[in-house]
Amino acid sequence: MIAFASLSIVLVASALWTIAARKPVYSVVALLVHFAALAGLYLTLGAEFLAVIQIIVYSGAILMLFLFVIALLSSGVAPFSVGPDRMPKAALPATVIAVIGLGLLLAGLLHAPPPSPAAPAVAGVAAGPVGAPGVFGSVAEIGRALFTTYLLPFEITAFILVVAIVGVLALAGDAGTARGTLRRAERVRRAAREAIMRGGE
Amino acid sequence: MTQYVALSAVLFFIGVVGVMLRRNPLVMLMSIELMWNAANILFVAFARTWLNDAGQVFAFLVITVAAAEAAIGLAIVVVVFRDARHVDVDEARILKG
Amino acid sequence: MIRHVMGIEGTYPLLLVVWLAPLVGAICCGFAGPVLKRGAGWLASASVGVTFVAALLSWADATAVRDGAVGAHQALFAWTHGIRFGLLLDPLALVWVLVITGVGFLIHLYSIGYMAGDRLFARFFAYMNLFVFAMLTLVLSDDFVGLLIGWGLVGLASYLLIGFWFERPSAVAAARKAFVINVVGDVAIMLAIFIMIARIGSAGFGDVFAAAPSLGNALFPICIFLFIGAAAKSAQVPLHTWLPDAMEGPTPVSALIHAATMVTAGVYLVARCAPLWNASSDAQLLVGTVGGLTALLGAILGTSQWDIKRILAYSTMSQIGYMIMGVGVGAYAAGVAHFLMHAFFKALLFLGAGIVIHTLAGEQDIRRMGGLRQRMPLAFWGMLAGVLAICGIPGFSGFFSKDAVIQGALDHGHPWLYGTGIVAAGITAYYMFRMFLVAFAGEFRGSLPPARLGFHPEVHAVHGHDEAEHPPAWIMGAPVALLTIPSVAAGWIMAGRPSPWERLMSLQFAVPAHLHAPLPEAATSALVLVMVAAGIGIAWVRYGGHRSAEEAADRLRAEAAGMPAILRTAFYFDVAIDALIVRPAQALGTFAARVLEPHVVDGTVREVVHVTRWFGDAVRSFQTGLVRAYVVVVVAGVACVLLYYVLVGGMTR
Contact C499, C505 (CB under 8 A): no
Distances in whole angstroms, Cα of residue C572 to Cα of each of A25, C241, C309, C379, C567: 104, 10, 20, 34, 8
Question: In chain C, which residues have their Cβ closer than 8 Å to the Cβ of A90?
Answer: 628-629, 632
**Least CB-CB distance to B95: which of C625, C628, C635?**
C625
Order the strands of the C84-89 sheet from edge to edge.
Answer: C8-9, C72-78, C84-89
State the amino acid at position C183 in one-letter form: V
CA distance B47 to C361: 119
CA distance A63 to A18: 12
Looking at the complex, report in whole angstroms how far the Cα of residue B39 sits from the nearest Cα belonging to chain A: 12
Task: Provide the 8-state DSSP code for B91.
Answer: G
C651 at the A interface (CB within 8 A)?
Answer: yes
pLDDT of residue C466 exceeding 50, the answer is no
Contact C549, C448 (CB under 8 A): yes
Helix extents (H) in C360-449: 377-391, 397-411, 415-440
Contact C310, C244 (CB under 8 A): yes
Contacts with C253 (C-beta within 8 Å, 6 or more apart), sequence order: C128, C161, C162, C164
Contact C247, C210 (CB under 8 A): no
The closest of C162, C280, C169, C291 to C224, measured between CA atoms, is C280
CA distance A3 to C552: 141
Asked whether residue B59 is domain-assigned, the answer is yes
Please answer yes or no on whether C625 and B94 come within 8 Å at the CB atom.
yes
CA distance B72 to A62: 11
State the amino acid at position C175 in one-letter form: A
Over the stretch A1-32, which tens digit does the pLDDT of each residue have? 788 899 999 999 999 999 988 888 899 999 99
Which helix (H) or strand (E) segment holds residue C209: the answer is helix C205-211
CA distance C411 to C404: 10
Contact C192, C226 (CB under 8 A): yes
CA distance A25 to B24: 12
What is the per-residue pLDDT for A115? Answer: 62
CA distance C295 to C235: 11
pLDDT of residue C31 exceeding 70, the answer is yes
Distances in whole angstroms, Cα of residue C538 to Cα of each of C308, C312, C428, C441, C465: 19, 19, 12, 15, 33
Q: Report ipTM (2 d.p.).
A: 0.91
Here the CATH number for the domain that contains residue B59 is 1.10.287.3510
CA distance C553 to C539: 16
Please answer yes or no on whether A100 and C639 come within 8 Å at the CB atom.
yes
What is the per-residue pLDDT for C172? Answer: 92
What is the per-residue pLDDT for C321? Answer: 93
Mean pLDDT of B14-18: 92
Q: Return the CATH fold of A1-76+131-149.
A: Four Helix Bundle (Hemerythrin (Met), subunit A) (1.20.120)
Nearest-10 Cα torsion for A107, A111, A116, A121:
80
Interface-testing mutation among B31, B41, B43, B64, with chain A (most A C-beta atoms within 10 A): B64
> Pairing state of beta strands C72-78 and C8-9?
parallel
Interface-testing mutation among A97, A109, A110, A111, with chain C (most C C-beta atoms within 10 A): A97
- Exposure b/e, B58-74, CB count within 10 A at least 16 = b: bbbbbbbbbbbbbbbbb
Position B97 confidence tier, pLDDT thresholds 50, 70, 90: low
Question: In chain A, which residues have their Cβ closer than 8 Å to the Cβ of C621?
Answer: none
Distances in whole angstroms, Cα of residue C337 to Cα of each of C320, C403, C413, C603: 12, 11, 20, 62
CA distance C495 to C263: 27
**Least CB-CB distance to A94: which of B9, B21, B85?**
B21
**Least CB-CB distance to C623: which of B20, B23, B96?**
B96
Domain coordinates in residue numbering, chain A? 1-76+131-149, 157-201
Say which residue, A120 or C159, is predicted with more confidence. Answer: C159
C641 at the A interface (CB within 8 A)?
Answer: no
Mean pLDDT of chain B: 88
For residue C83, how many other CB atoms are within 10 A of its CB? Answer: 16
CA distance C15 to C18: 5
Mean pLDDT of chain C: 85
Over the stretch C511-549, which tens digit does the pLDDT of each residue have? 765 667 777 878 888 888 999 999 999 888 888 777 777
The closest of A65, A91, A33, A32 to B23, measured between CA atoms, is A91
- Tallying the residues shown for chain C, one arrives at 653
C495 at the B interface (CB within 8 A)?
Answer: no
Question: In chain B, which residues have their Cβ closer than 8 Å to the Cβ of C624?
Answer: 93, 96
Say which residue, C553 or A41, is predicted with more confidence. Answer: A41
Please answer yes or no on whether B23 and C625 come within 8 Å at the CB atom.
no
Asked whether residue B96 is domain-assigned, the answer is no
**Chain centre distance of CA A105:** 22
Closest chain B CA to residue C621: B97
Over the stretch C392-438, which tens digit does the pLDDT of each residue have? 888 888 888 998 899 888 888 888 888 999 999 999 999 999 999 88
What is the per-residue pLDDT for C582? Answer: 85
Closest chain C CA to residue A96: C636
Report the number of distinct structural domains present in chain B: 1
Distances in whole angstroms, Cα of residue C371 to Cα of each of B68, C116, C389, C544: 120, 27, 22, 11
Mean pLDDT of C337-343: 92
Contacts with C35 (C-beta within 8 Å, 6 or more apart), sequence order: none
Backbone dihedral region for residue C557 (phi beyond 0: left; psi -120 to 50: alpha; all else: beta): alpha
Contact C110, C475 (CB under 8 A): yes
What is the per-residue pLDDT for C411? Answer: 84
Q: What are the percentages of helix, strand and coil residues in chain A, rounded to 5?
A: 70, 0, 30
Asked whether residue B80 is domain-assigned, the answer is yes
Nearest-10 Cα torsion for C141, C142, C147, C153:
-20
**Least CB-CB distance to B34: which of A15, A125, A154?**
A15
The pTM assigned to this predicted structure is 0.69
Between positions 26 and 45 of B, the ones with CB within 8 A of C are 28
Which helix (H) or strand (E) segment holds residue C70: the answer is strand C69-70
Structural domain span for residue B70: 2-91
Between positions 161 and 200 of A, the ones with CB within 8 A of B are 161, 163-165, 167-168, 171-172, 183, 187, 190
- Measured on CA atoms in the order B18, B20, B23, B27, is the torsion positive or negative? positive
Mean pLDDT of C639-647: 85
Contacts with C18 (C-beta within 8 Å, 6 or more apart), sequence order: C51, C54, C55, C58, C89, C97, C101, C136, C140
Mean pLDDT of C7-14: 81
Contact A43, A51 (CB under 8 A): yes
Task: Provide the 8-state DSSP code for C169.
Answer: H
**Least CB-CB distance to A122: which of B30, B53, B64?**
B53
Contacts with C19 (C-beta within 8 Å, 6 or more apart), sequence order: C87, C133, C136, C137, C140
- Exposure b/e, C263-274, CB count within 10 A at least 16 = b: bbbbbbbbbbbb
pLDDT of residue C59 exceeding 70, the answer is yes
Mean pLDDT of B48-67: 89
CA distance C470 to C351: 16
Between positions 608 and 637 of C, the ones with CB within 8 A of B are 620, 623-628, 631-632, 635
Cα three-residue angle A189-A190-A194, rounded to 5 degrees: 120
Question: In chain A, which residues have their Cβ closer than 8 Å to the Cβ of B89?
Answer: none
pLDDT of residue C106 exceeding 80, the answer is yes
Task: Tell the burial category of A140 from Cβ atoms under 10 Å away from its Cβ (0-12, 13-18, 19+).
Answer: middle
For residue C533, how many other CB atoms are within 10 A of its CB? Answer: 14
Contact A81, B89 (CB under 8 A): no
State the helix-helix crossing angle for B54-81 and A151-172, rounded to 10 degrees: 10
Cα three-residue angle C3-C4-C6, rounded to 5 degrees: 140
pLDDT of residue C462 exceeding 50, the answer is no
CA distance C420 to C80: 46
**Least CB-CB distance to A31: which of B30, B61, B63?**
B30
Contact C58, C12 (CB under 8 A): yes
Contact B52, A118 (CB under 8 A): yes
Low-confidence ranges of chain A (pLDDT < 70): 75-83, 112-135, 173-181, 199-201
Contact C373, C440 (CB under 8 A): yes
